Amino acid sequence: MHAESISPGAVKTEEQHRRDICAVGGWMHERGYVASTDGNISVRLGPDRILTSPTCMSKGMMTPDDLVVTDLEGRRVGGSRKASSELPMHLLIYRLRPDVNAVCHAHPPVATGFAAAGLALDKPILCELVMGLGCIPLARYGTPGTSELTAAVEPFVRDHNAILMANHGVVTYGADLLTAFQRMESAEHFANVALVTELLGKQVMLSGGDLEKLVEAKARYTSGSQAAAAAAEPKTPAPPRGDATERITLTRRELEALIDEALEKDRARR
């Protein structure tokens, strides 16, 4: 029913953005990230125009005409349906992050389980996640659709690209919709891996030295001014106290191979 792929990039016609939002809604529904009418997706169309999914509708059943256009204050300027009550959270992110052009909010069960358990996803156990998202912090609970929720999320928006919301779900965002969606996938994948380590009763953290190398490797692969920004990014989890000398089971060569593979994948996605 919906597209099986969408192209990267934020410069598209409004019609294409409409189709892309419907495609991502379908993917979130298929993957079980949303149930019933949960979740919401938006794209920045222009300086004061946001295209967003409607409330009270399955995100797997939307058609391009169901979408709503609002201004940055959330006032409807196009479409006949009502925008989601969680739109203010999207608008906050657009206001604080001029680099962001798309936002996804969903309730993927494992990541949301961590959020409901009061646990952030902030342990450096996966090199790809350290490279891609850094840690995923936990914002305190706020009633959906109220200023409580936006106030709870606000402190994390500038320095992170994915946030767990206590007893609620996950919000991810990026320069384009494909990136925002893939960050939702990464967050849920990381939550699954973290859960397995909890079940196994053992987590081996990457050491402080390994994390430094990851940040350096990320900077090497990021060009120009982006490189300096990446090196200075505060998103990488701090080296775990007391674990910095813990022996990990990867050799340096294996770790470097993993990093290179992650970087290649990351570059291919851009």
One-letter amino acid of 28? M
Binding mask 184-223 for Zn ion (x = CB under 5 A): ----------------------------------------
- Find the shortest distance in angstroms from Cβ 203 to Zn ion: 28
- Find the shortest distance in angstroms from Cβ 168 to Zn ion: 6
Interaction between residue 124 and Zn ion (CB under 5 A)? no
Interaction between residue 88 and Zn ion (CB under 5 A)? no
With respect to Zn ion, which residue has the nearer C-beta, 31 or 235? 31
State how far the Cα of 187 lies from the Cα of 193, in Å rounded to an integer.
Answer: 10
Interaction between residue 25 and Zn ion (CB under 5 A)? no
Reply yes or no on whether 86 is catalytic: yes
State how far the Cα of 68 lies from the Cα of 81, in Å rounded to an integer.
Answer: 6
Window 160-179: residues binding Zn ion (CB under 5 A): 169
Residue nearest to Zn ion (CB): 169
- Find the shortest distance in angstroms from Cβ 252 to Zn ion: 42
With respect to Zn ion, which residue has the nearer C-beta, 26 or 169? 169
One-letter amino acid of 165? M
With respect to Zn ion, which residue has the nearer C-beta, 54 or 169? 169
With respect to Zn ion, which residue has the nearer C-beta, 18 or 168? 168
Task: List the catalytic residue out of 4, 14, 15, 86.
Answer: 86
- Find the shortest distance in angstroms from Cβ 200 to Zn ion: 30
With respect to Zn ion, which residue has the nearer C-beta, 132 or 169? 169
- Find the shortest distance in angstroms from Cβ 215 to Zn ion: 32
Q: What's the 3-state SS for the chain?
A: CCCCCCCCCCCCCHHHHHHHHHHHHHHHHHCCCCCCCCCEEEEEEECCEEEECECCCCCCCCCHHHCEEECCCCCEEECCCCECCCHHHHHHHHHHCCCCCEEEEECCHHHHHHHHCCCCECCCCCHHHHHHCCCECEECCCCCCCHHHHHHHHHHHCCCCEEEECCCEEEEEECCHHHHHHHHHHHHHHHHHHHHHHHHCCCCCCCHHHHHHHHHHHHHHCCHHHHHHHHHCCCCCCCCCCCCCCCCCCCHHHHHHHHHHHHHHHHHHC
Binding mask 125-164 for Zn ion (x = CB under 5 A): ----------------------------------------
Q: Would you please indicate which residues are annotated as catalytic (active-site) residues?
A: 86
Residues interacting with Zn ion, by CB under 5 A?
169
